[in-house]
Amino acid sequence: MDRRLLPAIVLLGVALAAPFIVYPVFLMKVLCFALFACAFNLLIGYVGLVSFGHAAFFGGAAYITAYSVKVWGWPTEAGLLAGIAVAALLGLAFGAIAIRRQGIYFAMITLALSQMVFFFCLQAKFTGGEDGIQSIPRRPLFGVIDLKNELTLYYVVLAIVLSAFWLIYRTVHSPFGQVLKSIRENEPRAVSLGYRAEHYKLLAFVLSAALSGLAGSLKSVVFQLASLTDVQWQMSGEVILMTLVGGLGTIFGPVVGAVVVITMQNYLAPLGEWVLVIQGVIFVVVVLAFRRGIVGEISAWLSRLRA
Amino acid sequence: MFELLGVPPQALFGQLLLGLINGAFYAMLSLGLAVIFGMLNVINFAHGAQYMMGAFTAWMLLNFLGVNYWAALILAPLLVGLFGILLERLFLRHLYHLDHLYGLLLTFGLALIIEGVFRKFYGSSGQPYSIPEELTGGHNLGFMFLPNYRAWVVAFSLVVCLAVWYLIERTKLGSYLRAATENPTLVQAFGINVPRMVMLTYGFGVGLAALAGVMAAPIYQVSPLMGANLIIVVFAVVVIGGMGSILGSIVTGFGLGVVEGFTKVFYPEASNTVIFVIMAIVLVLRPAGLFGRAQ
Amino acid sequence: MKSFVAGLSTALLLASAAQAQISDNVIKIGVMNDQSGLYANISGQGSVLAARMAAEEVGGKVLNMPIEIVFADHQNKPDVGSNIVRTWIDTDKVDVIADVPTSSVALAVQQIAREKKRIFLISGAASSDLTGKACSPYGFHWTYDTYMLANGTGNALVRAGGDSWFFLTADYAFGHALERDTGESVKASGGKILGAVRHPLNTSDFSSFLLQAQASKAKIIGLANAGGDTINSIKQAAEFGIVAGGQRLAGLLVFVTDVHSLGLKTAQGLVVSESFYWDLNDETRAWSKKFMERQKAMPTMVQAGVYSAVRHYLAAVKDAGTDDADKVAAKMRSSRINDMFSKNAEIRADGRVLRDAFLLQVKSPAESKGPWDYYKLLATIPASEAFRPLKDGGCSLVN
């Protein structure tokens, strides 16, 4: 147990010290996407379902938080909760429809459904169409914590994201998580043992959607902006890429993947459209040669050393 | 729906026809996807990019080599099909023993690369491609003005679709294909080179996408992103039809084109979501799709 | 991970760099626009060149300080754009931001530039909100806006006999705004609106919408959309014989590069509003020829606007003797703009540059004398009529 905690403690130390060295806005972006990728990983790594529609939860929640905070004047924490709630509801609707099919069908169905949400956001009045919702005020959290200070905001985001990680960790290691794993490994057997597989899968889907929503909501608070980029299918592709690069089904993989992909986007931004090409190349290389991802390969290498 | 009163029945004929034209593209693309899926068990995410490549190849043939539309109709699918074969040999081949999802992810990556490279060199505003001389102008059918080129698109794509259906369902070659889908080892034992057949099938499916691209070039602007959004709609078409039958994908393609056409008259705001809505409804009622076999 | 570490060390270096006087002894101009997407042709590298040409005209130096031009691609995404601008201002010490097509990104940048007190020279973006609800003491809207497009085209076409309209509208905020503004100006000039159809953004097939427009028998079909949607609707209108049948298309947001990519055969007869065309007079021809030699394309109004704006900004820095944003902005407002792009143009309190607009018609292939000879001038809309009256914008700087 101690040994497994070690990387977590190191990471925590790095996270606490980081904003004094790196641009905090960039770090917060990494945190939001790390959470998004972990939420996504919950589904693919532990239920074996690949969703190509997670942008709908991420972007949908971003819009709800943005709108409730900016237009209705809700406090930030209420806005976040509203975002999570809407993402969970969307997840319930998506799940109820998509869970009937597995594998690639599931991917295609979630993609199509999220495209529907995209068109809704494009046409609906409240989202501001192409302009998105801009200049979202950073209202003090619980009325006391001033989020206008970027350093404070960073620690708040860090705290929220860490609690979400903890929640994911607990879920995976709970009896619920064990049932999910058994369904992934052998669904008919799990069913024969009396587990209602569909309910478990649906619940996992809703949880994953809600946490993706939290990530989207946080992003809208950090950037004071919710826009169509957040609901576009390319966003679903990006989160898959992060998870894949880091390592499917590993605890820290999605975090590493998010750091790598976001850093890459940041420093390669001057290259414009080549970024997409490079992402495509990474997809191909990872799928062909490093299917375990960075973390997966490292831990495989470590266990080979030990053996 | 009260607007129905405002639309004379003649105009509806016009919209029906237009719907069929759009359906022709859905049918050709979903047919290619179905052929590839049947043989390789891969959902080809790069299908939209390959459709775009077909249109671009036609454009390049015309502008760099002076090759006209009619020759491009044959050459472009061949060239893009060869490119598909190359992709199969280099990449896809290594994934057949894995979960099908990896095929989807790989082709997604390929689509990003192809579209990105074309954007780099041609920008995204698109290149013009003229309607071939022989098919310019149109006929006044009384209820609408039908451009000759659109009439050609419907007729030609119907012929192509039916020919493919005949090839797969009614010929000896087709029966090998279907047998190899069911039991590759057994077919291999009969002395048929299954890996080569798989490779050619992928090339053929990609060629179909490219053919649709050439046909689309004169109607739509030839642009690097022309296939990116289309492919998602075609996925929905495929889910609605189910992957079970070749004929199913043709019928669903044309049918949904018509449904979308009518939506453009009665409730245009929903015309790009209607197919997704139908998909959701079909999934609730018949999870395997309209023509799919239950799993 | 390497780039991450590299990023860490640059961040450290920058943080330790001293806060220099007069912003690091360099005038840094950041041109941000679409370098690869839909608007790359109308802005893109052409705008960077235009800024460079303005800098070269003053010898690459102002007040003995070198002028440096940097550029970035915002990919038409507000989050990417605001990220770039924040970094530019916070760590790269960029003094002025120019161009920024796509209203969503421009609105985001306007907000940041206002907070951080940086001059923002808007050329590429269309939204008239930039000098309305979202106006800023540091924001200057140089080239055109949605009000100008709508009002110019609507009003002028009705006067020219196009008194019945049908709209093909992209179904999102921008399309709705264009349709509403144009419709109002059509009605105000005595024309009538026969109907409208809303098509989803990024539609590839316009045939059923065009059929509805055709059936309306309206004299003018107004295209309240942009980019690929406009191009596809023009192309398919030609296919369905709509222009040949006597109806006219009015493109509310069409640029000369769009006409170039459509070809005259398809685009002929189309009516558009622009605030610049290379072939207007000797001065525009001379400047555009120099531009053409380096860019291999004629300048769009957006690119010409970037040139004019950067030129005016540099002159104001020189006159003010500083690059302090407040003083330069005041200088910019108090002097008239005089260059090949604008004659004696004035900048209003809300940041709107008042200049003439032109109603242009695309020539037929027979009328055109060669590449880039695309437009004939139908009417000049004087600056006083082209833009929204100051009091109607709702800008907080106007009292």
B66 to chain C nearest CA, in Å? Answer: 18
- Say how far residue C48 (Cα) sits from the centre of its chain: 14
- Residue C296: CATH number of its domain: 3.40.50.2300
**Is C3 among the domain residues?**
no
C53 and C78 in a single domain? The answer is: yes
The answer to whether the Cβ–Cβ distance between B261 and C208 falls below 8 Å is yes
Residues C135 and C222 in one domain: no
Please, are residues B108 and B49 in contact by the beta-carbon 8 Å criterion? Answer: no
Is residue B261 exposed (0-12), middle (13-18) or buried (19+ Cβ within 10 Å)? Answer: buried
Question: Across the interface, do A270 and C72 touch by the CB < 8 Å criterion?
Answer: yes
Sequence-ordered strand ranges (E) for chain C: 27-33, 61-62, 65-73, 96-99, 119-122, 139-141, 164-170, 192-199, 220-224, 248-251, 271-274, 346-347, 353-354, 357-362, 375-381
Mean pLDDT in chain B? 87
**Which token pair is C273?**
């509003």
The per-residue pLDDT for B1 is 36
C330 and C364 fall within a common domain: no
The span from the CA of A58 to the CA of A117, in Å, is 11
CA distance C142 to C126: 10
Residue range B98-126: mean pLDDT, rounded:
87
Q: Given an 8 Å threshold on Cβ–Cβ distance, is C200 in contact with A259?
A: no
Tell if the CB–CB gap between A97 and B102 is shorter than 8 Å.
Answer: no
Q: Are residues C293 and C269 in the same domain?
A: no
Closest among C178, C121, C182 to C151, alpha carbons compared: C182
Q: Which residue has the tokens 């992934």?
A: A184
Residues of C at the A interface, defined by Cβ within 8 angstroms = 1, 3-4, 6-8, 11-12, 35-37, 72-73, 75, 77-80, 82-84, 86-87, 90-91, 102-104, 107-108, 111, 127, 171-174, 200-201
Look at residues A248, A257, A230, A288 and name the one whose alpha carbon lies nearest to residue A41: A248
Q: Are residues C64 and C32 in the same domain?
A: yes
B vs C, Cβ pairs < 8 A, gives 100
Mutual angle of helices B194-216 and B9-40, in 10-degree steps = 160
Contact across the interface for C205 and B220, Cβ inside 8 Å: yes
Check CB contact under 8 Å for A108 and B94.
no
Of A130, A225, A260, the CB nearest to C82: A225
In angstroms, the CA C309 to CA C98 distance is 8
Do C70 and C96 have their domain in common?
Answer: yes
Q: Say whether B223 and C203 touch across the interface (CB within 8 A).
A: no
Q: Which chain B residues are Cβ-neighbours of C239 within 8 angstroms? A: 131, 138, 147, 149-150, 219
Establish if C167 belongs to a structural domain. Answer: yes
Q: Quick check: is C12 in a domain? A: no
Residues C41 and C125 in one domain: yes
DSSP C115-149: HHT-EEEE-S---GGGGTTT--TTEEE-S--HHHH
* Structural domain boundaries enclosing C239: 147-274+356-386
What residues of chain C lie within 8 A of the CB of B128, using their CB?
235, 261-263, 266
Q: Is B196 on the interface with A (CB under 8 A)?
A: no
A111 and A97 Cβ atoms separated by less than 8 Å: no
- Report the residue of chain C nearest A228, measured CA to CA: C77
Record the tokens describing residue A43, joined without a space: 């589904």
* Residue B83 pLDDT greater than 60, yes or no: yes
- Token look-up 């022709």 returns B24
| CB-CB neighbors (< 8 A) of C127 in chain A | 131
Our CA-based measurement puts residue A226 at a distance from the nearest CA of chain C, in whole angstroms, of 8
Q: How confident is the model at residue B293 (pLDDT cuts 50, 70, 90)?
A: low
Q: How many CB pairs under 8 A join A and C?
A: 88
Question: What DSSP character marks residue B293?
Answer: P
Alpha helices for B66-147 (secondary structure H): 69-90, 100-122
Q: Is the pLDDT of residue B217 over 80?
A: yes
Which chain A residue is nearest to residue B87, measuring alpha carbons? A284
Q: What is d(CA A155, CA A54) in angstroms, rounded to the nearest whole number?
A: 26
**pLDDT on residue B157:** 94
Strand C248-251 vs strand C271-274: parallel, antiparallel, or unpaired? parallel
Using an 8 Å Cβ cutoff, are C298 and C292 in contact?
A: yes
- Please name which of C100, C168, C82 lies closest in space to residue A132, comparing C-alpha atoms: C82
- C320 found inside a domain: yes
Inter-chain residue contact B101 with A233, CB threshold 8 Å: no
Nearest chain B Cα distance for residue A115, angstroms = 8
pLDDT in tens, B144-170: 788 899 999 999 999 999 999 999 888
For chain C, the residue count is 399
**C-alpha–C-alpha distance, residues C379 and C152, integer Å:** 10
Residues of B with CB below 8 A from A101's CB?
239, 283, 287
**pTM (predicted TM-score):** 0.85
Which run of H or E residues covers position A134? strand A133-134
Chains adjacent to C (≥3 CB pairs closer than 8 angstroms)? A, B
Q: Smallest Cβ distance to C261: which of B128, B220, B268?
A: B128
Under a CB-based contact definition with an 8 Å cutoff, are residues B207 and B253 in contact?
A: no
pLDDT computed for residue C398 by the predictor: 83
Query: From the CA of B175, how many Å to the nearest CA of chain C?
Result: 37
- Quickly list DSSP for A33-61: HHHHHHHHHHHHHHT----S-THHHHHHH
pLDDT category, B60, cuts 50, 70, 90?
Answer: very high
Residues 6+ apart with CB under 8 A from A186: none
Gap between the Cα atoms of B56 and C23, Å rounded:
48
- The candidate with the shortest Cα–Cα distance to C181, out of C285, C119, C98, C273, is C273
Q: Are residues C186 and C108 in the same domain?
A: no
C256 and C365: one domain?
yes
Question: Residue C264 falls within a domain, yes or no?
Answer: yes
Of B145, B229, B268, the CB nearest to C198: B268
Structure tokens at B283: 């999934």
Residues of A in contact with B95 (CB under 8 A): 287-288
Q: Measure the CA–CA gap between C383 and C125, rounded to whole angstroms.
A: 19
Residue C329 inside a domain? The answer is yes
* Same domain assignment for residues C136 and C191: no
* Model pLDDT, residue A14: 85
**Cβ–Cβ < 8 Å for C362, C268:** yes
| Other beta carbons within 10 Å of A6 | 9
What phi and psi, each to the nearest 5 degrees, are found at residue C348? -80, 165
Cα C130 from Cα C118, distance rounded (Å) = 15
Specify whether C106 is located in the same domain as C94: yes
State the total domains in chain C: 2
Asked if the Cβ–Cβ distance from B120 to A280 is below 8 Å, we say no
Which residue, C52, C77, C49, C86, is CA-closest to C66? Answer: C52
Residue B278 pLDDT > 60: yes
Residue B91 contacts A, CB cutoff 8 Å? yes
Q: Which two tokens stand for residue C113?
A: 């530039």
Residue whose tokens read 């759009």: B22
Separation between Cα atoms, residue C388 and residue C399, nearest integer Å? 16
> Which pair of structure tokens corresponds to residue B68?
């006209």
Q: Does B279 touch chain A (CB under 8 A)?
A: yes
CA nearest neighbour of B229 among B269, B279, B273: B273
pLDDT for the residue numbered B7: 62
Q: Do C79 and A223 touch (CB under 8 A)?
A: yes
| Chain B residues within 8 A of A109 when measuring between CB atoms | 239, 279, 283
State how beta strands C65-73 and C61-62 pair: antiparallel
- What is this model's ipTM? 0.86
Nearest to A272 among C73, C90, C104 (CB): C73
Question: Which subunits sit against A, judged by 3+ Cβ pairs under 8 A?
Answer: B, C
Which has the closest alpha carbon to A251: A185, A307, A167? A167
Q: What is the pLDDT along chain C (399 residues), one digit of tens a residue?
A: 444 444 444 444 443 333 334 567 899 999 999 887 778 888 989 999 999 999 999 999 898 899 999 999 888 888 888 888 988 998 888 999 999 998 889 999 999 999 899 999 999 998 888 999 889 999 999 999 999 988 888 888 898 888 999 999 988 778 888 898 899 999 999 999 999 998 887 788 898 899 889 888 999 999 998 888 898 899 899 888 888 888 999 999 899 988 988 889 889 989 999 999 999 999 999 999 999 999 989 999 999 999 999 999 999 999 998 889 999 999 999 999 999 999 999 999 999 999 999 999 999 999 999 889 999 999 898 988 889 999 888 899 887
Report the pLDDT value the prediction gives residue A26, as an integer from 0 to 100. Answer: 87
- Give C304 to chain B, closest Cα distance, Å: 20
SS3 C36: coil
**Nearest C-alpha neighbor of B228 from the set A276, C245, A56:** A276
CB contact under 8 A, B105 and A103: no
> Is C168 part of a structural domain of the chain?
yes
Residue from B125, B215, B259 whose CB has the most chain C CBs within 10 Å, to mutate:
B125
- Each of the 307 residues of chain A gets a pLDDT tens digit; together they read 556 677 778 878 888 888 888 888 889 999 999 999 999 999 888 888 889 999 999 999 999 999 999 999 999 999 999 999 999 999 999 999 988 887 788 888 899 899 999 989 988 888 887 778 888 888 888 877 888 888 889 999 999 999 999 999 888 889 888 888 888 888 888 888 888 888 889 999 999 999 999 999 999 999 888 988 899 988 999 999 999 999 888 888 999 999 999 998 888 776 767 888 998 999 999 999 888 889 888 888 888 888 7
List, in sequence order, every residue forming a beta bridge with C141; answer none if it has no partner. C122, C352
CA B180 to CA B185: how far, in whole Å?
A: 8
pLDDT category of residue B37 using cuts at 50, 70 and 90: confident
Does the pLDDT at position B204 exceed 70?
yes
Same domain, C133 and C94: yes
| Chains A & B: contacts with CB separation below 8 Å | 106
Minimum Cα–Cα distance from B150: chain C residue: C239
* Residue C347 bridge partners (DSSP): C353
Q: Would C13 be classed as within a structural domain?
A: no
Task: Please state, in angstroms and rounded to a whole number, the distance separating the CA atoms of residues A247 and A241.
Answer: 10
Q: Which two tokens stand for residue A81?
A: 């909760």
The pLDDT tens digits for B231-259 are 988 988 988 988 767 888 899 999 999 99
> Which residue from C260, C341, C267, C262 is spatially nearest to C297, judged by alpha carbons?
C260
The DSSP string of C256-317 is HHHHHHH-HHHHTT-EEEES--TTSSHHHHHHHHHHHHHHSSPPPHHHHHHHHHHHHHHHHH
In this complex, the chains that touch B, judged by 3 or more CB pairs closer than 8 A, are A, C
Taking CB atoms and an 8 Å limit, are C87 and A130 in contact across chains? Answer: no
